[in-house]
């Protein structure tokens, strides 16, 4: 996909969607920069323009602090470009070796640095990823306890800085399976550390997504709405950036299993009713790992699903 195709106006579909973009009231809708890493490089401003056109007013940055180098942009320049479009940086994907006591102080220093960066944009959420499962060197229970203790300290630091830090569950990381989500929630202080769930990774990891939302509804501060259904690819997965995953690989199966909102198995209307119960106010990120017809089309489709299926339940 070349830049012209990526930025194609699709005037007919935009005209049809005019006036029916996500309302961004109690719930503010964001997208993740991670999707663009699977496409050929474009300027950061092109990403912002797609956001503006499709009604997603926030972004979750990935790869901080390297993202500034990747897009050849300074913090001040990013803030200027975001502000002039009336957009926001909602959070970043933060992670580190939280299971390693020898590196705890570095993890906390990195978390502080990340939140200091986010302060430039008025953000108040830190989305915390667990360490990769392959990083566990000591016994699992010891590593898990250490991770949770570090999460509590990140949460305390976040509170002191006017932020809320929350767990972002993820496949192939230490909080993947249903019992691991419950264990992490039980071993962290609800006053310090919250829940920032990813619906696709919950579902693909074996959780009942609606049950998890209901159980931890009072700890949810930020979330990813991502649709999914385990799908076995019939051919190699070829990304726009040239990366190829063989059809029988774990990566190919994952990419084949991610869908635009409403095309998978996740019951988002039920989740939305739970958010209405607790009068949730905050960010929901429509995170995509694949966009079969390009980012703009996928976000238009997901935006239409939000307007037609979710906003009648709760704005």
Query: pTM (2 decimals)?
Result: 0.92
203-238, pLDDT tens digit by residue? Answer: 999 999 999 999 999 999 999 999 999 999 999 999
Q: Distance between CA 255 and CA 287 in Å, rounded? A: 13
Q: Residue 18: what pLDDT? A: 45
Mean pLDDT value of segment 244-265: 97
Q: Distance between CA 135 and CA 167 in Å, rounded? A: 18
**CA-to-CA separations, 77 to 71, 81, 173, 243, 292, in angstroms, rounded:** 11, 6, 33, 30, 31
Residue 178 has pLDDT above 70, yes or no: yes
- Closest to 164 in 3D by CA, of 27, 33, 26, 283: 283
* Tokens found for residue 163: 């932020």
Q: Residue 10: what pLDDT? A: 44
Q: Which residues contact 88 (CB under 8 A, 6 or more apart)?
A: 28, 30, 57, 58, 59, 82, 121, 122, 123
271-284, pLDDT tens digit by residue? Answer: 999 999 999 999 99
Mean pLDDT value of segment 102-109: 97
- Closest to 167 in 3D by CA, of 189, 143, 196: 196
What percentage of the chain reaches a pLDDT higher than 90? 92
Mean pLDDT value of segment 33-56: 96
Q: Are 197 and 168 in contact (CB under 8 A)?
A: yes
| Domains, the chain, ordered by start | 22-228+259-310 (3.20.20.150)
Evaluated on CA atoms 40, 43, 47, 49, the torsion sign reads negative
Q: How confident is the model at residue 1 (pLDDT cuts 50, 70, 90)?
A: low
Q: Residue 19: what pLDDT? A: 55
183-194, pLDDT tens digit by residue? Answer: 999 999 999 999
**CA-to-CA separations, 149 to 21, 101, 127, 137, 188, in angstroms, rounded:** 41, 10, 17, 17, 7
Q: Which residues contact 276 (CB under 8 A, 6 or more apart)?
A: 313, 314
Terminal-residue alpha carbon distance, the chain:
34
* Tokens found for residue 200: 């696709």
66-77, pLDDT tens digit by residue? Answer: 999 999 999 999
């Amino acid at each position: 996909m070349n830049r012209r195709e990526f930025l194609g106006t699709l005037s007919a579909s935009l005209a049809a969607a005019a006036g029916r973009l996500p309302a961004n009231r109690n719930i503010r809708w964001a997208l993740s920069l991670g999707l663009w890493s699977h496409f050929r490089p474009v300027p950061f401003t092109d990403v912002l323009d797609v956001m503006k056109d499709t009604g997603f007013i926030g972004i979750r940055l990935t790869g901080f602090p390297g993202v500034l180098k990747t897009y050849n942009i300074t913090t001040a320049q990013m803030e200027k470009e975001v502000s002039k479009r009336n957009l926001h940086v909602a959070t970043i994907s933060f992670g580190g070796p939280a299971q390693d006591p020898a590196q705890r102080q570095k993890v906390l220093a990195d978390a502080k640095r990340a939140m200091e960066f986010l302060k430039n944009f008025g953000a108040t959420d830190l989305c915390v990823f667990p360490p990769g499962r392959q990083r566990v060197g000591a016994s699992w229970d010891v590593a898990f306890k250490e991770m949770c203790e570090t999460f509590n300290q990140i949460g305390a630091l976040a509170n002191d800085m006017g932020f809320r830090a929350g767990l972002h569950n993820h496949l192939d990381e230490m909080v993947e399976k249903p019992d691991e989500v419950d264990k992490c929630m039980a071993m962290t202080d609800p006053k310090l550390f919250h829940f920032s769930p990813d619906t696709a990774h919950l579902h693909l990891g074996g959780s009942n997504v609606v049950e998890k939302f209901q159980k931890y509804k009072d700890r949810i501060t930020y979330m990813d709405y991502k649709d999914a259904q385990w799908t076995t690819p019939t051919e190699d997965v070829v990304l726009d950036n040239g990366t190829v995953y063989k059809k029988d690989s774990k990566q190919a199966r994952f990419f084949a299993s991610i869908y635009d909102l409403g095309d998978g198995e996740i019951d988002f209307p039920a989740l939305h009713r739970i958010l209405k119960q607790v009068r949730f106010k905050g960010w929901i990120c429509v995170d995509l790992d694949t966009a079969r017809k390009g980012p703009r089309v996928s976000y238009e489709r997901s935006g239409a699903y939000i307007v037609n299926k979710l906003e009648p339940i709760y704005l």
